[in-house]
Structure 1
Amino acid sequence: MERPELPLQQLHAFVVLAEELHFGRAATRLGIAQPPLSQQIRRLEDRVGHALFSREPGRIGLTPAGRELLPPARHALTGLADGLAAAREVGSGRAGRLRIGFAASLALTVLPGLLRTFRERFPAVQLDIQEMTTTPQLAALRERTIDLGLLREPPAHDAELGFGTVLTERFVAVLPSAHPLAAQRLVRVEQLAGCPFVLLPRAVGPPLYDQITGLCVAAGFTPRVAQHAVEWQTVCALVETGLGVSLAPESIRRIRLKGVAFRRIEPGIARTRVAVAWRKNDSNPLVPRLLAALDQEPPV
């Protein structure tokens, strides 16, 4: 037989009366008249099937059944109060969980300062940080497995997603230290025409890939891609081995490899865009909180 649920109002009345052991004081504490209190206790006793209080002239006490019910009743009320408080914190954006995808290269620029600022302001928020390239981030946002993305070169328009610019960066040439062009302070893109290239696969970030290859086409050649690598750290490591050269966002300079030289390029007007992405219809109150923290980040 299914056990009936006990109304929380009756449990609350029971706990207060058990603590006061006086109907008048308990009614005053509950802010109700004494007859409604007596009715709630009677209804609760009917549900339990046993008296919860012994009633004698001038005094009441807990019966064995009442003493047995008191600890779980208190636990239920405390759990409800804690749950309501937690719900208020999450609903107001002061607590909860925020899942963030980020391109690995952004760990060299905006990500550390952003996370530090956000954690200082909202220490109760659980941050779930996932490293992924641009295309998987866009898919994860649509599939609701992340709440925000930090990526490079987002699409120009998207019906589901919103985008905001975080920063822009120049491009640099990535060269083996022993390469003849490494002796120059400035490298013209056309000087890379005869070199094999190491690039990210187009599938992980089509706009950035097209921007890099477009720089080469504008300089009069199509880059010969000798090797692909999913992360910029790996691109630089392959350049160090002499497998080729690359063009990369300027922040990649912060990857410290002894056998790699980074040089400014000419023309130097091209820039890559770092953006934050989010779902336009997302109801998570933590999303606008992080967007506000990004707006207040100093430029890198």
Structure 2
Amino acid sequence: MDLRQLRYFVAVAEERHFGRAAERLHIAQPPLSHSIRLLEGELGVTLFHRTTRRVDLTEAGRAYLERVQKILADVDDAAHHTRRVAAGAVGHLTLGCVGSATYSLLPTLSRHLATELPGIDFSFRGEMLAPDQADALRTGAIDVALLRPPAADLSLAVHTLRRDRLVVALPADHPLAGKTQVHAADLADVDLIVHWADRHSVMHDVVSGVLRGAGVEPHVRHEVGETSTLITLVAGGLGVAVVPEPVTVLALDGVVYRPLVRPAAVIELAVAYRAGRGEPHLARAVEVIRGLF
């Protein structure tokens, strides 16, 4: 018994005529009749009542037809599903986002991924620091990351998406809030709110590097893990923060944003995944993300 015999059986059962079934299958009638006889012999039952005018299913034939149609439908569905997997059209992916991308990109990105890759089930984790994302990529806790690139890591494949300018988040009543732009030198002796140093935050290192490069020793008052918490503390008047420009979408009352100049500085946003992973659905998701930029 093989799938060809089953398809032959279904054609005869649906057409109720060997001649018409043979035309539908684009084969001659004698080999079709022979195949059905072999099938009946293997099953040990009669599937059809044959007369000179028509062919009718036996009770056993009707029961067999119902099961065979399901089997063939499953076979066709399996082939279709396999082709979709090979094309990267189905699967599950978890995407981790750095804080600024969580607010500025995730709403648009999630809709775009759902539209472009409807067969892939996405889940999202926001407000992740880059080192945590890198660890999660290596362990498989997440599959794709939107992050601020850490130091060179051969275990990760990293593609830069864009470069974001740095801005200064200030309490609205802060003396620097009256300026149209803030120089790095203006932040000397100013209370700063930064991301955690002991978590090896990329933003912490970038901000410290920019200020020290301008001759300013950072005066850190608070360290936090989440960008939203950082901006909330700024709104509470507890200090100022240097953040990527996309954070300005967090328009909290009591917070104003000013460009950072002298030096003007940027920080990269990248998409990353574990090097060596070649699943088609992951490759397609990364392609769609890169296409947005």
TM-score by length of 2: 0.84
Is this contact kept in 2: 1:45–1:51, CA < 8 A? yes
Q: CA deviation at 1:275?
A: 0.6
Is this contact kept in 2: 1:153–1:208, CA < 8 A? no
AA matched with 1:209: H
Q: Quick check: 170-179 or 281-290, which moved more?
A: 281-290
Q: CA deviation at 1:65?
A: 1.2
Give 2:137's match in structure 1, choosing from 141, 161, 173. 141
Q: CA deviation at 1:257?
A: 1.2
CA distance in 2, matches of 1:225, 1:258: 23
Structure 2, unmatched stretches of 5+, are: none
Q: Quick check: 143-152 or 288-297, which moved more?
A: 288-297
Q: What is the aligned partner in structure 1 of residue 229 from structure 2? A: 234
AA matched with 1:91: A
The answer as to 2:167 corresponding to 1:172 is yes
Give 1:154's match in structure 2, choosing from 150, 153, 162. 150
The change in CA–CA distance for 1:207 and 1:103 in structure 2 (over 3 A counts) is closer
> Alignment partner of 1:269: what SS?
coil
Structure 1, unmatched stretches of 5+, are: 1-5
Q: What is the aligned partner in structure 2 of residue 198 from structure 1? A: 193
Give 1:245's match in structure 2, choosing from 240, 249, 252. 240
Is this contact kept in 2: 1:135–1:203, CA < 8 A? no
AA matched with 1:267: R
The change in CA–CA distance for 1:203 and 1:151 in structure 2 (over 3 A counts) is farther
Give 2:254's match in structure 1, choosing from 251, 259, 274. 259
Q: What is the aligned partner in structure 1 of residue 9 from structure 2? A: 14
Give 2:22's match in structure 1, choosing from 19, 24, 27. 27
Equivalent residue runs for 1:43-54 within 5 Å: 43-54=38-49
Is this contact kept in 2: 1:114–1:293, CA < 8 A? no
Equivalent residue runs for 1:1-300 within 5 Å: 7-56=2-51, 59-131=54-126, 132-156=128-152, 158-202=153-197, 204=199, 206-297=201-292
Q: CA deviation at 1:142?
A: 2.5
Q: CA deviation at 1:89?
A: 2.9
Q: CA deviation at 1:112?
A: 4.1
Identity over the aligned pairs, expressed in percent?
Answer: 36
